[in-house]
């Protein structure tokens, strides 16, 4: 077994080639830019640590674009994983902070100490102390198939309705969403239409969407939910289909309590009714 604690690095672990994993195939089919040698190293460290390799991919993409930009940050962070020098002394095991073969195990050591096996968003937050950063990392991880290879729960055969109520405004050129009337149900739970990662949760109650949530799925489908009265999730959190995201309201530019619901596929707004079950 590999030793991920501070001390000499041990690599007694079988090689995992990219082609040996269905997730690797997903990466290649998606046309994403994770180099195959780095993917193999991430998978080796994943086997040693129990941390999904997509988490390493998310951090590496955000921190250094997979080693393409390893310049020292304004805060003094260095190398492939943008470790602070003092942290590298603790977790780097004497390795090279510019070599992903040394940095990926160091990431694992750091994340394990931060409790990643119990709380993935919390451990990533410990890495950079920003929930926006957590959302970026998990958004990249989702694009590589985290937490599931399929963003849509099999039993639903697609999205589920995020709220109960009649459609008050349909999808069209000037309103690329549907509005689900919640006049009789203020504060009622708004549900995640699919599995994914919360990319954004917040907003301004005075303007535009008001309080809103964006959930990113791992296969190109994302959803936006707007005009919440209250929000129950945070950026970077993994959510499951049917999980409450918050309570329906009328914050922002809103004339009556309703859920404004948008669906994006490959960043293009689509008619949500094409993805929702007929009712």
CATH no. for residue 234? 2.70.70.10
Q: From first to last of the 279 residues of the chain, give the pLDDT tens digit.
A: 444 444 433 333 233 333 334 344 444 434 457 888 888 889 889 988 899 999 999 999 999 999 999 999 999 999 999 999 999 999 999 999 999 999 999 999 999 999 888 888 888 989 998 877 887 888 788 778 786 433 333 334 478 889 888 999 999 999 999 999 999 888 888 889 988 889 899 999 999 999 999 998 867 789 999 999 999 999 888 888 888 898 999 999 999 999 999 999 878 899 999 998 876
Query: Angle at which helices 100-113 and 36-49 pack, to 10 degrees?
Result: 30
Please check whether residue 233 lies inside any domain of the structure: yes
Please check whether residue 9 lies inside any domain of the structure: no
214 in the same domain as 173: yes
For the purposes of burial, counting CB atoms within 10 Å of the CB of 156, is it exposed (0-12), middle (13-18) or buried (19 or more)?
A: middle
Single residue among 115, 143, 171 that ends a domain in this structure: 143
Please check whether residue 5 lies inside any domain of the structure: no
What is the pLDDT at residue 224? 96
165 in the same domain as 197: yes
112 in the same domain as 63: yes
What is the pLDDT at residue 31? 44
Cα 230 to chain centroid, rounded: 21
Residue with tokens 């160091």: 106
CATH no. for residue 72? 1.10.530.10
Write down the pTM of the prediction. 0.52
Name the β-bridge partners of 172: 175
Range of the domain at 270: 155-274
Name the β-bridge partners of 263: 223, 270
Please check whether residue 114 lies inside any domain of the structure: yes
Q: What is the tens place of the pLDDT at every residue in 4-51?
A: 444 433 333 233 333 334 344 444 434 457 888 888 889 889 988 899
108 in the same domain as 39: yes
Please check whether residue 10 lies inside any domain of the structure: no
63 in the same domain as 35: yes
For the purposes of burial, counting CB atoms within 10 Å of the CB of 129, is it exposed (0-12), middle (13-18) or buried (19 or more)?
A: exposed
Q: How many domains does the chain have?
A: 2
What is the pLDDT at residue 32? 56
On whether the CB atoms of residues 102 and 89 are closer than 8 A, the answer is no
The per-type count for the chain, helices as H runs and strands as E runs, is 7, 10
Query: How big is the chain, counted in residues?
Result: 279
What is the pLDDT at residue 16? 32
113 in the same domain as 62: yes
Please check whether residue 126 lies inside any domain of the structure: yes
Half-sphere exposure (CA, 13 Å, Cβ side) for 45?
Answer: 28
What is the pLDDT at residue 12? 32
CA pair distance 230, 178, nearest whole angstrom: 20
What is the pLDDT at residue 10? 35
133 in the same domain as 93: yes
């Amino acid at each position: 077994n590999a030793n991920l604690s501070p001390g000499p690095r041990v690599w007694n672990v079988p090689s995992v080639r990219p082609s040996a994993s269905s997730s690797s195939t997903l990466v290649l089919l998606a046309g994403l830019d994770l180099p195959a040698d780095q993917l193999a190293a991430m998978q080796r460290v994943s086997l040693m640590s129990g941390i999904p390799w997509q988490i390493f991919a998310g951090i590496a993409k955000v921190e250094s674009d997979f080693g393409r930009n390893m310049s020292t940050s304004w805060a003094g962070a260095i190398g492939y994983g943008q470790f602070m020098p003092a942290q590298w002394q603790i977790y780097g095991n004497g390795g090279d902070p510019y070599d992903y073969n040394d940095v990926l195990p160091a990431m694992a050591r750091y994340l394990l100490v931060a409790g990643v096996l119990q709380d993935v968003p919390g451990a990533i937050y410990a890495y950079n102390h920003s929930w926006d950063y957590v959302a970026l990392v998990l958004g990249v991880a989702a694009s590589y198939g985290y937490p599931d290879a399929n963003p849509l729960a099999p039993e639903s055969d697609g999205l589920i309705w995020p709220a109960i109520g009649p459609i008050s405004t349909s999808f069209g050129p000037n309103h690329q969403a549907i509005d689900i009337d919640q006049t009789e149900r203020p504060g009622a739970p708004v549900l995640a239409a699919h599995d994914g990662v919360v990319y954004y949760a917040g907003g301004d109650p005075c303007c535009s969407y008001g309080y809103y949530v964006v959930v990113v799925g791992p296969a190109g489908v994302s959803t936006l939910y707007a005009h919440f009265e209250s929000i129950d999730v945070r950026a970077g959190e993994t959510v499951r289909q049917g999980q409450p995201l918050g309570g329906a309201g009328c914050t922002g530019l809103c004339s009556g309590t309703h859920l404004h619901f948008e669906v994006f596929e490959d960043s293009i707004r689509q008619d949500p009714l094409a993805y929702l079950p007929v009712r």
